[in-house]
């Protein structure tokens, strides 16, 4: 079932020409009507599996793989509250590079520093003293009583004790490339509605796409809008 197939219509006054009659109308899709997962389903941990989006995987190919219907790509998107596929779906390597070039202007700028993050610090008992990945100033320092026993680009091990004060700079520089790549990778882990919940979701979607009775109601799939010409506008 294609998403736009279930979208209801609006009978809209035709203002394309001043010669149009007051009763002239056009039928358009109501693009503002949008369905979402029922709250009880969305919050149910049993209704979903987690899925890692591989390179080259699109919403339609994923829907074909999961539900046997590529036109159910909107179910994949709705399950993850994805409205803008271009911004919210992970980019392939070449497209990601093009995105970075457009954002930062050159390959040299892509390798520029975006921000600084802490390097994880643990003590001799492997207890975390400072979390890694916290955004800090480039000149951030950490002072403790003891000594550094091991240090790499991702981990610092210290031994507390003695009387000597030690100040270190457990900071890593994160390039624009590192930052954008990490943000893109985060988008690869999504929720997938289990196939057994699909009929319930599709029924709920159809009900949401029906109009309720009102002064503008014509049918379940059609309502009218007021014509400004009849109000002296």
Which pLDDT does position 42 carry in this prediction?
Answer: 63
Contact (Cβ atoms closer than 8 angstroms) between residue 180 and residue 99: yes
What are the pLDDT digits (tens) for 132-146?
999 999 999 999 999
What proportion of the chain, given as a percentage, has pLDDT over 90? 60
Dist CA 31 CA 72 (whole Å): 18
Q: If you average pLDDT over every residue of the chain, what do you get?
A: 87
Which pLDDT does position 117 carry in this prediction?
Answer: 97
CA angle 21, 25, 28 (to 5 degrees): 160
**Overall average pLDDT of the 115-121 stretch:** 98
Q: Which has the closest alpha carbon to 1: 223, 196, 201?
A: 201
**Overall average pLDDT of the 6-26 stretch:** 70
Dist CA 187 CA 215 (whole Å): 43
Which pLDDT does position 19 carry in this prediction?
Answer: 55
**Overall average pLDDT of the 166-170 stretch:** 96
**Overall average pLDDT of the 158-163 stretch:** 90
What are the pLDDT digits (tens) for 172-230?
999 999 999 999 999 999 999 999 989 988 888 888 878 888 888 888 778 888 765 55
């Amino acid at each position: 079932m294609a998403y736009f197939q279930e979208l209801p219509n609006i009978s809209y006054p035709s203002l394309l020409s001043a010669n149009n009659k007051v009763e002239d109308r056009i039928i358009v899709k109501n693009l503002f009507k949008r369905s979402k997962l029922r709250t009880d389903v969305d919050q149910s941990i049993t209704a979903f599996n987690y899925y890692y989006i591989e390179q080259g995987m699109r919403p339609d190919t994923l829907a074909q793989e999961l539900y046997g219907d590529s036109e159910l790509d909107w179910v994949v998107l709705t399950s993850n509250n994805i409205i803008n596929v271009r911004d919210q779906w992970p980019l392939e390597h070449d497209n990601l590079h093009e995105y970075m070039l457009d954002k930062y202007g050159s390959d040299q700028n892509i390798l520029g520093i975006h921000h600084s993050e802490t390097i994880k610090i643990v003590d001799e008992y492997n207890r975390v003293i400072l979390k890694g990945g916290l955004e800090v100033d480039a000149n951030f320092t950490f002072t403790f009583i003891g000594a550094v026993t091991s240090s790499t680009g991702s981990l610092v091990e210290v031994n507390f004790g003695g009387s000597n004060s030690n100040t270190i700079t457990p900071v890593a520089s994160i390039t624009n490339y590192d930052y954008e790549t990490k943000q893109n990778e985060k988008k690869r882990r999504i929720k997938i509605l289990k196939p057994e919940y699909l009929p319930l979701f599709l029924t709920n979607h159809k009900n949401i796409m029906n109009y309720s009775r009102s002064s503008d109601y014509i049918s379940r799939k059609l309502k009218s809008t007021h014509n400004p010409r009849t109000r002296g506008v």
